[in-house]
């Protein structure tokens, strides 16, 4: 396809233009042969290529070609390493190019508003900075191979319940600062070829036909240059979508919506110029896709499996690591395991791994490593196995279940150490429905108690796409959060258990003590077509910190087999107005490791609601034993801003910002501060402005204060405080004559 007049919208017939705005079938776009416009293939991701062979569907029911199943976002995001994400993205791009796929659908960066969301395994974090930074890495990697990424799901798609119709009712500050901020980062930093609009409505408007979302915010404010593609089946009104800036409807509608577009143009209800804009963007996507070099080399299956194993190991989070001695927890860690000890591996997940989520991202892996096989390969001593439970079982004790439990207890009793694999079965969390609780199945918890009584030297390894409650955290000595780790997750788990890999994963979402403590409790999943985001800004750790709630494990937490110390942090403002935080970090242990250095900010005395602290930057750093590394972390001035609803724009509030640096949101090792100049905010002034607002006005504020104090004495004694919220035009003659107040207002309006 060439960039010629023949391949511009203005040289196509109306019918051809309309046809290009929807798919030919489930995964491909329509071609226009006479104009040399090719058909393009879009295929599911985002943690592996899901190119279906034969029958097509969007829920992972039909088979797909073999591809590398990398760790889903829940595992990859725990690495806190965008460079690793970029390498995984490049591998996804390579596999897509080999299969002649133009766009792979991912990454997904929706905020984990509630741990109940059935699709949380496919999303990055409860924090928009983590989501944006990690999403940027994936997009850059994918597109480095000449394949387009599709950033999804735009926007406020935070549940599966009634997901095609529900209205996410969220106030402007929370929408901008929490739910859109990650998308903004990826769009500005990586320019994904496509953005996928979500199914849901946002404050009543369908995302697929919302000009504010798709044109004003995405294109005009953020400078997005690509196309907007619908989620599969997300189109409500195709003609309204054209006007709003929704370019490509997927999948095809067998010509039904094409005819609607043609009819709307002919009837005059749709300006053909608006259709031309959409078509030209689709043609530009086709030009990008056609420019990709032909992929000639076959897939290097082993190299990609090795990368999947590395990424999985980097996503594992060591939550707890204490060895029991005579019934007491000692400072000596239980992990890493000795290779020559007698091990009892218990739990069906060790033999039958749950390594990916269910639904549209379900990959046909090139191979699958099991933890049981990997442990046996790494161990020199005896390894026994007992299933302990069946994955789908959560019923009262049956004879078969009792037999499995007895076998597990016997194996534990004869071992030096137990490695117990627990997890969430696939039928409990998936695309298409939400979870109803955050509990592990009862049968598994009962097994844990029985095995722990037989052998207190226990390591619990978790397999789950969303966080789970950990009522046993105070009883077991070691807990490994192993998420869903892709096809190499079994080997990666053994790598961490035996110390071949030093764990460096960190929690990208808080693990609560109870579901009732979570921010969206009582406001999830809504009712009668609406879900109210009543927690506002206080999502994730912001909520727990603001409410002083205890948690099982805080955001950012993760242990290592070594230790790190922090020097004194410093912060300075650079020439661009960004803040650069510098801190020296020393590996004080005896083995190499990685520390994820996290930077949180807060502003005491802010004029608007703020959480106690917010993550604004982070960096994963490899450090050798006894080595000290000077770590610099930039904090963007734009991401220190809040959304000012009075003027509908980002505003950096002036003041002294506290900078806290540490290993989690509740493990802060050093602090400093930096003074930032604020942005000027020119509020419209009228007789309905409050005294506080007029007193803060740079033109008349000082004179107004002087006039009031001249008449009533020291106004700081309480008069101005009492008047503060009162509109200046409501009290004729008090505290000043009305004509005087009018003069102050008019002076302020003139500036």
Is the pLDDT reported for residue 394 higher than 70? Answer: no
CA angle 735, 739, 744 (to 5 degrees): 75
Per-residue confidence (pLDDT) for residue 385, from 0 to 100: 98
Catalytic residue among 162, 231, 495, 644: 231
Region 309-546: CATH code: 3.40.50.1700
What pLDDT, in 10s, does the model give residues 502-512?
A: 999 999 999 99
Mean pLDDT of 71-87: 98
pLDDT tens per residue across span 457-495:
999 999 999 999 999 999 999 999 999 999 999 999 999
CATH of the domain spanning 564-676, picked from 3.30.310.50, 2.60.40.10, 3.30.1860.10, 3.10.620.30: 2.60.40.10
Instruction: Give pLDDT, residue 56.
Output: 63
CA distance 277 to 221: 18
- Backbone torsions φ then ψ of 22, nearest 5 degrees: -145, 160
Q: Which of 570, 658, 571, 646 is nearest to 611 (CA)?
A: 658
- Is 5-290 assigned to CATH 3.20.20.300? yes
Cβ proximity of 435 and 468 under 8 Å: no
Strands 323-325 and 328-330: antiparallel
At residue 599, the pLDDT reads 98
Type and span of the H or E element at 311: helix 301-315
Q: Cβ distance 696 to 646 under 8 Å? A: no
- Quickly state the pLDDT bin for 19 (edges 50, 70, 90): very high
What is the rounded distance in angstroms from the CA atom of residue 721 to the CA atom of residue 715?
Answer: 8
Q: Which two tokens stand for residue 523?
A: 């406001």
Average pLDDT of the segment spanning 545-568: 98
- What are the distances in angstroms from CA 360 to CA 45, 58, 114, 423? 8, 5, 21, 21
- Per the annotation, the verdict on 677 as an active-site residue is no
The SS3 call for residue 80 is coil
What are the residue ranges spanned by the domains of the chain?
5-290, 309-546, 564-676, 691-750
Is the predicted pLDDT of residue 112 greater than 80, yes or no?
A: yes
Contact of 407 with 386, CB cutoff 8 Å: yes
**What number of residues does the chain have?**
751
Q: Among all chains, which residue has been given the structure tokens 């709003």?
A: 244
pLDDT of 720: 83
Q: Average pLDDT, whole number, for the chain?
A: 94
Mean pLDDT confidence for 61-83: 93
């Amino acid at each position: 396809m060439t960039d010629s007049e023949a391949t511009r919208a203005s040289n196509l017939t109306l019918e051809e233009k309309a046809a290009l705005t929807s798919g030919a079938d489930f995964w491909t776009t329509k071609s226009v042969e006479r104009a040399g416009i090719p058909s393009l293939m879009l295929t599911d991701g985002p943690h592996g290529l899901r190119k279906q062979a034969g029958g097509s569907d969007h829920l992972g029911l039909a088979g797909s070609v073999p591809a590398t199943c990398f760790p889903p976002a829940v595992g990859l995001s725990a690495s806190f390493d965008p460079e690793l994400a970029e390498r995984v993205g490049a591998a996804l791009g390579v596999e897509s190019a080999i299969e002649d796929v133009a766009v792979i659908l991912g990454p997904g960066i929706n905020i984990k508003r509630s741990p109940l969301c059935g699709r949380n395994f496919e999303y990055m974090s409860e924090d928009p900075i983590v989501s944006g930074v990690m999403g940027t890495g994936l997009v850059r990697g994918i597109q480095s191979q000449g394949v387009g990424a599709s950033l999804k799901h735009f926007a406020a798609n935070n549940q599966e319940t009634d997901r095609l119709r529900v209205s996410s009712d969220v106030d402007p500050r929370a929408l901008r600062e929490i739910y859109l901020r990650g998308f903004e980062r990826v769009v500005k930093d990586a320019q994904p070829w496509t953005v996928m609009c979500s199914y849901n409505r946002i404050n009543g408007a369908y995302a697929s036909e919302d000009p504010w979302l798709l044109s004003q915010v995405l294109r005009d404010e953020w400078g997005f240059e690509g196309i907007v593609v619908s989620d599969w089946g997300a189109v409500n009104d195709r003609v309204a979508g054209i006007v709003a800036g929704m370019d490509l409807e997927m999948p095809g509608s067998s010509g039904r919506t094409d005819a609607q577009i043609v009819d709307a143009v002919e009837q005059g209800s749709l300006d053909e110029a608006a259709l031309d804009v959409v078509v030209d963007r689709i043609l530009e996507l086709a030009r990008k896709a056609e420019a990709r070099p032909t992929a000639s080399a076959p897939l290097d299956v082993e190299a990609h499996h090795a990368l999947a194993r590395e990424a999985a190991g980097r996503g594992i989070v060591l939550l707890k690591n204490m060895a029991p001695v005579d019934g007491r927890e000692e400072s000596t860690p239980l992990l890493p395991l000795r290779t020559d000890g007698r091990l009892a591996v218990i739990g069906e997940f060790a033999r039958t791994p749950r390594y990916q989520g269910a639904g549209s991202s379900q990959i046909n892996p090139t191979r699958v490593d099991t933890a049981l096989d990997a442990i046996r390969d790494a161990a020199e001593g005896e390894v026994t196995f007992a299933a302990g439970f069946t994955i789908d079982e959560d019923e009262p004790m049956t004879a078969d279940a009792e037999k499995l439990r007895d076998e597990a207890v016997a194996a534990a009793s004869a071992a030096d150490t137990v490695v117990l694999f627990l997890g969430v079965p696939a039928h409990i969390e998936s695309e298409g429905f939400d979870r109803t609780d955050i509990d592990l199945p009862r049968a598994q918890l009962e097994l844990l108690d029985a095995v722990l009584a037989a052998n207190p030297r226990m390591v619990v390894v978790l397999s789950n796409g969303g966080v789970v409650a950990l009522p046993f955290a105070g009883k077991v000595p070691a807990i490994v959060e192993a998420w869903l780790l892709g096809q190499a997750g079994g080997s990666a788990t053994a790598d961490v258990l035996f110390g071949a890999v030093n764990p460096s994963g960190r929690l990208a979402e808080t693990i609560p003590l109870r579901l009732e403590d979570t921010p969206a409790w009582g406001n999830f999943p809504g009712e009668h077509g609406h879900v109210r985001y009543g927690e506002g800004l206080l999502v994730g750790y912001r909520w727990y910190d603001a409410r002083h709630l205890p948690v099982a494990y805080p955001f950012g937490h993760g242990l290592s087999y070594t230790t790190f110390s922090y020097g004194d942090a410093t912060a300075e403002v650079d020439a661009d107005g960004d803040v650069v935080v510098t801190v020296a970090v020393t590996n004080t242990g005896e083995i190499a490791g990685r520390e994820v250095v996290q930077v949180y900010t807060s502003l005491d005395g802010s004029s608007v609601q703020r959480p106690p602290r917010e993550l604004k930057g982070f960096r994963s750093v490899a450090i050798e034993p006894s080595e000290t590394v000077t770590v610099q972390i930039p904090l963007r001035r734009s991401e220190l801003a809040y959304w000012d609803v009075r003027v509908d724009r980002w505003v950096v509030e002036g003041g002294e910002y506290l900078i806290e640096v540490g290993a989690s949101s509740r493990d802060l090792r050093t602090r400093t501060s930096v003074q930032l100049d604020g942005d000027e905010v020119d509020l419209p002034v009228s007789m309905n402005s409050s005294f506080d607002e007029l007193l803060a006005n740079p033109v008349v504020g000082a004179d107004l204060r002087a006039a009031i104090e001249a008449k009533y004495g020291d106004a700081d004694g309480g008069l101005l405080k009492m008047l503060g919220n009162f509109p200046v035009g409501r009290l004729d003659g008090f505290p000043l004559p009305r004509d005087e107040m009018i003069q102050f207002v008019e002076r302020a309006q003139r500036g």
